[in-house]
Amino acid sequence: NAGVTQTPKFQVLKTGQSMTLQCAQDMNHEYMSWYRQDPGMGLRLIHYSVGAGITDQGEVPNGYNVSRSTTEDFPLRLLSAAPSQTSVYFCATSSWGNTEAFFGQGTRLTVV
Amino acid sequence: AQSVTQLDSQVPVFEEAPVELRCNYSSSVSVYLFWYVQYPNQGLQLLLKYLSGSTLVESINGFEAEFNKSQTSFHLRKPSVHISDTAEYFCAVSASGGSYIPTFGRGTSLIVHP
């Protein structure tokens, strides 16, 4: 089992460019979420999903879009990248049967 | 909604000394509590969790945390740290019976010196 797979691991964007961060899981978990990690700020929730076709906003959703068409995938879209979106992004999954959240290895994004 | 406060951003200690990383939470509903650890350039992994029952929970590598409902705290302790314990530690809370999507504190960097 791969668990939670994030791609790419590193990315450099120019201001105004768009891109999609990929997250895939093979754990059959209902819940998926995206966090950003910034120094001194911990992990802040961007968007989350409680199942296919259902998404909701977290603490810092502005500038990001998500969709959940399948149980396995939960992509995060940056529509027009800004330097303030320079961060490390983590995808996580969890389920009713297991209270633990499982994390991907992260995507380090730099917007110049 | 829940919130988590980690009272120390950085805790330096010498090897084999005891350590305590402090965590307080706020919630209007019953919660589950977690400590996650992040080693450099890696994702987070669960260290230990409190769901119900005994208020003292332990990890396999010697850490323990005690749930104190009256003080809304979940402090992490280890009686003797090793160099390999150097990492970032995050306290997290989620609503029991909810979607198990945790809210995290800002993290505490544990730095173990030889």
Residue A94 is which amino acid? S
Residue of B nearest to A51 (CA): B99
Closest CB to A99 among B42, B45, B49: B49
When the pLDDT of each residue in chain A is averaged and rounded to a whole number, the result is 94
Say which residue the tokens 């009713």 belong to.
A96
Count of pairs with CB atoms under 8 A, one residue in A, one in B: 60
pLDDT digits (tens, 9 = 90+) for A60-77: 999 999 999 999 999 999
In sequence order, the β-bridge partners of residue A89 are: A36, A107
3-state DSSP assignment of residue B114 = coil
pLDDT digits (tens, 9 = 90+) for A31-49: 999 999 998 899 999 999 9
In sequence order, the β-bridge partners of residue A78 are: A19, A64
Question: What local confidence, expressed as pLDDT, does residue A23 receive?
Answer: 98
Question: What local confidence, expressed as pLDDT, does residue B98 receive?
Answer: 67
pLDDT beneath 70, residues of chain B: 98-99
Question: Is B46 in contact with A100 (Cβ distance < 8 A)?
Answer: yes
Chain B residues 5-24 with CB within 8 Å of chain A: 6, 9
Question: What local confidence, expressed as pLDDT, does residue A98 receive?
Answer: 66
For chain B, strand residue ranges (E) read: 3-6, 10-14, 19-21, 23-26, 31-38, 44-50, 56-58, 64-68, 73-78, 87-95, 103-104, 108-113
